[in-house]
Amino acid sequence: MLDLRLPIGWLFIIFGTMLVIFGYATPTTTPVGESAINLNITWGSVMGLFGLIMVLLAKTAAKNSKT
């Protein structure tokens, strides 16, 4: 049976990677006095980490169900 965590995890890994690459490719232009944190890099990393956790959970569940 297909575990939905696996395709959802890969989806988040791919989209997170794309967002991080886009964040590094575009410069941050913020007005003076505001934070210079690039939210594309931040949330791309969060999405990638969430996707990695989902894939790891799917892999460990598949390994435990075989034994």
| C-alpha span between 66 and 31 (Å, rounded) | 56
Give me the count of residues in the chain: 67
pLDDT band at 36 (very low <50, low <70, confident <90, very high): confident
- pLDDT of 46-65, one tens digit each? 999 999 999 999 999 888 88
| C-alpha span between 28 and 7 (Å, rounded) | 32
Mean pLDDT of the chain: 88
27-42 b/e with 16+ CB inside 10 Å = b?
eeeeeeeeeeebebbe
pTM over 0.75: yes
Q: Residue 4: what are its φ and ψ, rounded to 5°?
A: -70, -15
| The predicted structure's pLDDT at residue 62 | 82
| The predicted structure's pLDDT at residue 67 | 62
Q: Distance of alpha carbon 9 from its chain centroid, rounded?
A: 8
